[in-house]
């Protein structure tokens, strides 16, 4: 499965997708309230099948206006709630068994401004060229078709983001295509760092532009403006959209830089080894800078890029020692502290740059990514 994302043009009727989302938000609220009532009466939640049957009844009786909404999309709303409860119950089961799973809450009613996506599974739309016709709205919308999709379309998702732009997501099946880059027989280990974003085992250093830091003043003033506004007022929504726009611009710049960097790496090397990261722990230790560097996002992009061009990505386990051992003889330098940038191995007398030494070790202990 591969998902392609397309942006809708700014067009006067795009607001109708927003209105459709707001209508579906009504369904979402109704179904969740229904589940709560059901639970109060029978001390359990209604099954997905029951809810679907109930929706059919509702359309005939109290909610005739739901008939205009595409039925598969309404089912998707019910299914998302259903999956939410399933996950919640799995979590409770795991907890009872004495495991310590990641906490999952009960499905909550979303506020209207956070209800932002709808999914078509098979019917209800038609795509021709760069236009999608939504049958229930009897309207067509034009999107920016910057590339072709391949394979057959399985689901179509329309999303409104916090900025107020609309996107189309096409999930396609059977679109595996690997392009090949010429092999270079180079291999490199890469060490993530706070000072230098990436240090490669052959000594190349890559410094992050730290886009968030660059726009820090802009972010701060946008945040202040938002906090001055009254919650859910018109001004509040405007300020929130502005803040979202600033954040989105930063994220876009960073992603662009990541893709270019990853492409440079896969062009140069056949095998790249990186360390698997304990991001939560790093965030606690270093704070905002880790989020700005976004190692995790870069790892994923690099993984995707390697798969696309048929290169190998190796991963060094989280508990693998990579900093302290000497890359020449394997001597463990227990005295090494965070501030030591350079050190000399007492055993074999080789001189090391801390990051390059780590990068070499990462390449040595790396195993194929599963
Ligand atoms: Zn040594």
Average pLDDT over residues 224-246: 94
pLDDT of residue 317: 82
Same domain, 348 and 212: yes
Quote the ligand 1 centre to 364 CA distance (angstroms): 15
Please say if the pLDDT value at position 67 is more than 90. no
Transcribe 333-351 into DSSP letters.
-TT--TT--EEE-TTT--E
pLDDT of residue 150: 86
Same domain, 261 and 355: yes
Quote the ligand 1 centre to 344 CA distance (angstroms): 8
Quote the ligand 1 centre to 196 CA distance (angstroms): 24
Average pLDDT over residues 238-265: 93
pLDDT of residue 233: 94
Same domain, 87 and 191: no
| 3-state DSSP assignment of residue 185 | coil
E strand or H helix at 277: none
Domain presence at residue 356? yes
Please say if the pLDDT value at position 328 is more than 70. yes
| Least trusted range by pLDDT, from 5-9, 212-216, 248-252 | 212-216
Please say if the pLDDT value at position 175 is more than 70. no
Please say if the pLDDT value at position 36 is more than 70. yes
Q: Which residue would you say has higher pLDDT here, 132 or 339?
A: 132
Domain presence at residue 33? yes
Quote the ligand 1 centre to 330 CA distance (angstroms): 6
pLDDT of residue 20: 92
Quote the ligand 1 centre to 365 CA distance (angstroms): 17
pLDDT of residue 370: 63
Beta-carbon contacts of residue 144 (< 8 Å; ≥ 6 apart): 6, 7, 8, 9, 130
Quote the ligand 1 centre to 288 CA distance (angstroms): 35
Quote the ligand 1 centre to 276 CA distance (angstroms): 25
Name the pLDDT band for 333 (thresholds 50, 70, 90).
Answer: confident
Instruction: Judge contact between 309 and 266, C-beta under 8 A.
Output: yes
Please say if the pLDDT value at position 217 is more than 90. yes
Quote the ligand 1 centre to 204 CA distance (angstroms): 22
pLDDT of residue 222: 96
- Domain total of the chain: 2
pLDDT of residue 259: 95
pLDDT in tens, 68-105: 888 889 999 999 999 999 999 899 888 888 887 788 88
Nearest to 259 by CA among 301, 294, 318: 301
d(CA 365, CA 282): 21
Same domain, 245 and 141: no
Quote the ligand 1 centre to 325 CA distance (angstroms): 8
| Least trusted range by pLDDT, from 8-17, 146-155, 175-184, 313-322 | 175-184
pLDDT of residue 32: 93
Domain presence at residue 135? yes
Domain presence at residue 178? no
Structural domain boundaries, residue 284: 187-368
333 in the Ramachandran plot: left (φ > 0), alpha (ψ -120 to 50) or beta? beta
Quote the ligand 1 centre to 302 CA distance (angstroms): 31
121-126: list long-range contacts, CB under 8 Å, 24+ apart. Answer: 121/72, 121/76, 121/154, 121/155, 122/72, 123/70, 123/72, 124/70, 124/72, 124/73, 125/156
Same domain, 85 and 164: yes
pLDDT of residue 139: 92
Domain presence at residue 182? no
pLDDT of residue 178: 66
Name the pLDDT band for 283 (thresholds 50, 70, 90).
Answer: confident
pLDDT of residue 200: 93
Quote the ligand 1 centre to 273 CA distance (angstroms): 22
Beta-carbon contacts of residue 162 (< 8 Å; ≥ 6 apart): 116, 240, 241, 244, 248
Domain-ending residue, one of 173, 201, 225:
173
pLDDT of residue 102: 81
pLDDT of residue 151: 86
Quote the ligand 1 centre to 328 CA distance (angstroms): 5
Q: Which residue would you say has higher pLDDT here, 182 or 231?
A: 231
Quote the ligand 1 centre to 326 CA distance (angstroms): 5
Residue with tokens 């990186």: 274
d(CA 347, CA 266): 35
pLDDT of residue 177: 63
């Amino acid at each position: 499965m591969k998902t392609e994302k397309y942006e809708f043009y700014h067009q006067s009727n795009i607001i109708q997708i927003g209105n459709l989302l707001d209508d579906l938000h009504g369904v979402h609220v109704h179904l969740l309230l229904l589940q709560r009532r059901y639970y109060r009466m029978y001390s359990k939640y209604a099954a997905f099948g029951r809810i679907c049957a109930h929706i059919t009844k509702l359309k005939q009786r109290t909610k005739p206006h739901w008939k205009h909404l595409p039925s598969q999309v309404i089912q998707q709303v019910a299914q998302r709630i259903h999956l939410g409860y399933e996950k919640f119950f799995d979590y409770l089961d795991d907890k009872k068994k004495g495991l310590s799973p990641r906490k999952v809450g009960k499905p909550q009613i979303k506020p209207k401004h956070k209800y932002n996506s709808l999914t078509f599974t098979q019917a209800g739309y038609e795509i021709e060229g760069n236009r999608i016709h939504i049958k229930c709205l009897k309207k067509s919308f034009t999107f920016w078709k910057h590339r072709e999709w391949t394979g057959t379309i399985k689901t179509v998702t329309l999303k409104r983001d916090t900025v107020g732009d609309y996107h189309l997501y096409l999930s396609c099946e059977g679109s595996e295509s690997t392009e090949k880059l010429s092999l270079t027989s180079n291999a490199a280990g890469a060490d993530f760092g706070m000072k230098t974003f990436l240090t490669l085992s052959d000594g190349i250093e890559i410094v992050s532009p730290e886009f968030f830091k660059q726009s820090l003043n802009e972010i701060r003033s946008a945040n202040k403006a938002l906090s001055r506004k009254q919650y859910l007022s018109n001004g509040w929504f405007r300020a929130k959209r502005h803040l979202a726009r600033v954040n989105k611009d930063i994220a876009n710049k960073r992603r662009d830089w990541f893709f270019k960097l990853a492409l440079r790496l896969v062009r140069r090397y056949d095998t790249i080894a990186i360390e698997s990261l304990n991001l939560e722990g790093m965030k606690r230790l270093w704070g905002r800078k880790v989020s700005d560097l976004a190692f995790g996002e870069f790892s994923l992009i690099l993984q995707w890029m390697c798969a696309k061009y048929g290169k190998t990505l190796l991963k060094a386990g989280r508990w693998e020692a990579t900093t302290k051992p000497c890359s020449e003889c394997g001597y463990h330098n227990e005295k090494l502290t965070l501030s030591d940038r350079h050190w000399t191995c007492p055993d074999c007398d080789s001189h090391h740059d801390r990051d390059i030494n780590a990068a070499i070790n990462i390449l040595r202990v790396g195993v194929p990514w599963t």
